[in-house]
Amino acid sequence: MTQSTLARSWIASANGHSDFPLQNLPLGVFSLAGSTPRSGVAIGDHILDLEAGLAAGLFEGQAKVAVEATLGGTLNALFALGRRARVALRERLIELFVEGSTLRAKIEAQSASLLPLAADCTMHLPARVGDYTDFYVGIEHAKNVGKLFRPDNPLLPNYKYVPIGYHGRASTLRASGTEVRRPKGQTLPAGQTEPSFGPCARLDYELELGIWIGQGNEMGDAIPVSEAGEHIAGFCLLNDWSARDIQAWEYQPLGPFLSKSFITSISPWVVTAEALEPFRRAQPQRPEGDPQPLAYLLDEQDQATGALDIELEVLLLTQAMREQNLAPHRLGLSNTLNMYWTAAQLVTHHSVNGCQLQAGDLFGSGTLSGPERSQLGSLLELTEGGKHPVELASGEVRKFLEDGDEIILRARCTRDGFAPIGFGECRGKVIAAR
């Protein structure tokens, strides 16, 4: 029952084109006007309020333990329980919502527990993030960015050995829908030797996969790659908003700092590791001549099934497009198969020095561009550093983002014989600098 199938739900909106069919059942934290945040599960265009469901007696045994861990408005405690609790909850949710469920009447009698996923429902961060780490494992992105600086030698010598990453800012992680205030900062204008201070003029997005850490480890204990999958609770979309002009001036020698820390947006629904099981793939063959990963990063099972086949999309909606009723413009369509390392390899690398991971930590994958122009995950790549503007149906052009521009990330998994699942959206609209 935990494997995806083509089973349908008695909730009609969950069947067909919903991101949230019976096979997905993502977890999130929501609030209605005036109420405190509560945990829920999305199905079709509805949310099951887990606390109300618990009060209505919908859960028992391990599933009840799992739901009790979601009380209090964050999923950290559930993540800490690990896979077994998530699986028990998932199995029970499938029993509750599958077409023909004998429990339908019981749920429908509890109008408080099944709520419309409507505009008056605010989504929050699903967990309190202790630490947020941003990786750089989209190799096409790394090549594209490297080419702007080093045309003949875009990848640094460590790239194919080290899953490159850096610590990000946890305090400014925000759920989809939060406005993105244009940051101010120091930049070095072209041709100048002294910096200026002012609003960012090269504001960009980055299309990334987010990885939620489940059970953590003690400081000093590395997580073997064969066990790393057990430490991953689920996934989301992540927009690593980037101020390219601030970044260029500040990042030597210690890496990006204020160019990233003004906000990072994520999609609020945690698509569990279990929901993604059918969309696991063999890690793509490394190109001829690429080195094998060092032994601590290699596991046969992970090589065979550790990659993910998730289609990723990034769209732009400008103020003029909204006024002209134009559909969002697709800037890129990519896939998580562009990750040079698996999620399990990231967990293992991160902990190999003894670094403690904790339930609710978040990883970003790094920008997941593909090799084609239609598959790029940032404007920096798409416009080659602002040299070639993107043309929009509204008659506008963009080198970088302007105030009023909204970026929309979407993701979807499809496979013959399995119900497709989606991630919901990660949206953010740019507003003027203060």
- List interacting residues with a copy of itself (CB under 8 A): 130-131, 136, 156-158, 161-162, 164-172, 174, 181, 183-186, 188, 193-195, 197, 219-222, 243, 246, 249-259, 261-263, 291, 294-296, 349-350, 352-358, 361, 434
Q: Residue 370: which of 381, 380, 359 has the closest Cα?
A: 381
Distance CA 197, CA 250 (A): 12
With left for phi above 0 and alpha for psi between -120 and 50, is residue 52 left, alpha or beta?
A: alpha
Give the residue with the Cβ less far from a copy of itself, 100 or 151: 151
DSSP state of 285: P
- Smallest distance from the beta carbon of 352 to a copy of itself, in angstroms? 6
Residue type, 232: I
Q: Rounded to the nearest whole angstrom, what is the least distance from the CB of residue 420 to a copy of itself in the complex?
A: 34
- φ/ψ (deg, to 5) at 87: -65, -40
For residue 30, CA distances in Å to 171, 221, 268, 272, 382 come to 19, 35, 9, 17, 35
Catalytic residues, by residue number, are 141
- In 248-371, DSSP assigns E strands to 264-266, 271-272, 280-281, 307-308, 311-317, 329-335, 362-364
Residue type, 300: E
Distance of CA 187 to the CA centre of its chain: 29
Which is closer to a copy of itself, CB of 296 or CB of 324?
A: 296
The nearer residue to a copy of itself, 241 or 279, going by C-beta atoms, is: 241
Q: How far is the CB of 182 from a copy of itself (least distance, A)?
A: 9
Q: How far is the CB of 258 from a copy of itself (least distance, A)?
A: 4
* One-letter identity of residue 392: L
Shortest distance, CB of residue 380 to a copy of itself, whole angstroms?
A: 14
When the beta carbons of 64 and 184 are compared against a copy of itself, the nearer one is 184
In the bound state with a copy of itself, the residue whose beta carbon lies nearer, of 166 and 418, is 166
